């Protein structure tokens, strides 16, 4: 990866897609079920199978001639990220979800965990600060050697979620390592439709001063890269752009991942 080039995060829904993302040159493998929403939580079985496939690919073995190229492409284990759904899905849980996910986190050892904040700023909430308490309470359920990604929805009004600058401030206060700016409703609109570049630059100044990594998502395609890379993000996160037909519910294609990696390199030049 060229110096100054952001890392590419690819969201995958099964082990086959994880291998395709690795072959294409993805830097971070994120587990997500797109049918379950922007941060759709996959099943525990899927999370564990993807973690196992990445470990197998990185394990030392003697490849056959036909496997040599693939082995070289996936020889280094990629950092794993797990999308855990929305905080409000965890509230009121009897404990079965937290126990199950704690087991997954212990076995798969992800680098990053992320939770969405949709629904936490609806009119019925008594206090504007309650979303912070709910977020911290759910995060405390999952111990381990991982970093938390704070997720700010650019279309936060539609998500009934906190404002992006409020999430950024709380991410710094509560020790998150990454701020991910994404879109909640997947209706074809892009990140820049909801947060123009001047606002994103303001956020970038704040994250840079706090040593908080910035990840950008929200229907990012190669067309948006020149504008977004002017912000010097640390991570660019994609799914639809690297799926067949550009459909986020379709299958991740290694050639499309390669194309995105090439565009990141060229635009970072």
Catalytic residues: 32, 114
147 by Cβ neighbours in 10 Å (0-12 / 13-18 / 19+) ranks as middle
- Residue 83: both structure tokens together: 């999308």
CB of 153 closer than 8 Å to CB of 164: yes
């Amino acid at each position: 990866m060229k110096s100054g080039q952001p890392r590419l995060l690819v969201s995958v829904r099964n082990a086959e897609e994880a291998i395709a993302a690795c072959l294409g040159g993805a830097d971070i493998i994120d587990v997500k079920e797109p049918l379950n929403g922007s941060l759709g939580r996959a099943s525990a079985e899927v999370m564990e199978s993807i973690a196992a496939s990445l470990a197998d690919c990185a394990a030392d073995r003697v490849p056959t001639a036909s496997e040599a190229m693939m082995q070289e492409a996936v020889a280094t284990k990629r950092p794993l990220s797990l999308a855990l759904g929305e905080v409000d899905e965890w509230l009121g849980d009897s404990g079965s979800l937290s126990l199950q996910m704690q087991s997954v986190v212990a076995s798969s050892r992800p680098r990053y965990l992320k939770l969405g904040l949709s629904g936490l700023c609806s009119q019925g909430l008594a206090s504007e600060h309650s979303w912070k308490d709910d977020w911290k309470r759910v995060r405390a359920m999952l111990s381990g050697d991982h970093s938390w990604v704070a997720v700010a929805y650019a279309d936060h009004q539609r998500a009934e979620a906190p404002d992006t600058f409020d999430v950024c401030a709380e991410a710094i206060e509560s020790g998150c390592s990454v701020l991910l700016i994404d879109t909640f409703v997947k209706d074809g609109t892009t990140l820049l439709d909801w947060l123009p570049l001047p606002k994103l630059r303001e956020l970038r100044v704040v994250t840079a001063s706090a040593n908080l990594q910035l990840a950008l998502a929200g229907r990012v395609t190669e067309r948006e890269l020149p504008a977004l890379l002017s912000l010097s993000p640390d991570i660019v996160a994609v799914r639809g752009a690297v799926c067949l037909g550009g459909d986020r519910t379709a299958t991740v294609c290694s050639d499309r991942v390669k194309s995105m990696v090439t565009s990141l390199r060229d635009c970072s030049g």
